[in-house]
Chain A
Amino acid sequence: DTGVSQDPRHKITKRGQNVTFRCDPISEHNRLYWYRQTLGQGPEFLTYFQNEAQLEKSRLLSDRFSAERPKGSFSTLEIQRTEQGDSAMYLCASSTGQGATNEKLFFGSGTQLSVL
């Protein structure tokens, strides 16, 4: 069990550029979540996948954001035309997906995005 991996750990970009983050969940986990966390706040839900299907998206996920999970394995989160307000820690988490409720999430170490 190698845990949830996220790449890169840090990303510095200029405003207006596109960025893409990758998340590799724990191999047998069916559910994958993306959260965003700003300094001094708790994580805020962005979206989640059950296998390859994206089942829910938060209002925080504007049309500049897109997430995919091809083949139900790794996931990517792309932000187009980045803005300074996108600066945050982007956290990926996974869970087994075997139960409808009472599941705990396993988090990766996150990708810290800084938009200059």
Chain B
Amino acid sequence: SQQGEEDPQALSIQEGENATMNCSYKTSINNLQWYRQNSGRGLVHLILIRSNEREKHSGRLRVTLDTSKKSSSLLITASRAADTASYFCATDKFTGTASKLTFGTGTRLQVTL
């Protein structure tokens, strides 16, 4: 089952613009992670934010987490054509033996020149 849902499902912007994707989830978590997937390929880890953190930055990425609203957002600033991909949030709910990530449905980002 999918834990999270991303919004929007698809996003089309021009190069240089900022892209914002949102993720909502249902249960309490240890952390939330964002992954990127190019078409037909595996997923690549982008950033992890722990449940006691509210904001985190990595290069052109900014992630926020609001545990009271069970939501997160991913901001990509100054987007490039190479950012075109699907972006997934994944929640980590510790089950007692190990972490197990539950992925959302993804946002398809298209960056045009």
Find chain A residues with CB under 8 A from B92 CB. 101-103
User: Are B94 and A41 in contact, CB atoms less than 8 angstroms apart?
Assistant: no
A85 to chain B, nearest CB (A): 17
Contact of A97 among B98, B100, B106 (CB under 8 A): B98
Contact of A107 among B44, B48, B95 (CB under 8 A): B44
Contact of B99 among A41, A101, A108 (CB under 8 A): A101
Complex Cα distance, B51 from A101, in Å, reads 11
Would you give the 0/1 interface string for B25-56, flagging 1 where the beta carbon is closer than 8 Å to chain A?
00000110101000011111100101000000
Contact of B97 among A55, A103, A106 (CB under 8 A): A55
A73 contacts partner chain B, Cβ-Cβ < 8 Å: no
Complex Cα distance, B1 from A83, in Å, reads 20
B110 to chain A, nearest CB (A): 15
One of A11-19, A43-51, A62-70, A74-82 contacting the partner:
A43-51
B76-90, CB < 8 A from A = 88, 90
B81 to chain A, nearest CB (A): 22
Contact of A108 among B2, B42, B45, B106 (CB under 8 A): B42
User: Are B45 and A106 in contact, CB atoms less than 8 angstroms apart?
Assistant: yes
Complex Cα distance, B100 from A55, in Å, reads 11
User: Are B43 and A107 in contact, CB atoms less than 8 angstroms apart?
Assistant: yes
B45 to chain A, nearest CB (A): 4
Contact of A48 among B33, B44, B100 (CB under 8 A): B100
Complex Cα distance, B92 from A48, in Å, reads 14
Q: Known interface pairs A101-B94, A102-B31. Does A42 touch B99 (Cβ–Cβ under 8 Å)?
A: no
Complex Cα distance, B88 from A2, in Å, reads 24
Q: List 24 A-B contacts (CB under 8 A).
A: A4-B42, A40-B105, A41-B2, A41-B106, A42-B2, A42-B4, A42-B103, A43-B88, A44-B1, A55-B97, A56-B95, A56-B98, A97-B98, A101-B92, A101-B94, A102-B48, A102-B92, A104-B45, A104-B48, A105-B45, A105-B101, A106-B45, A107-B42, A108-B42
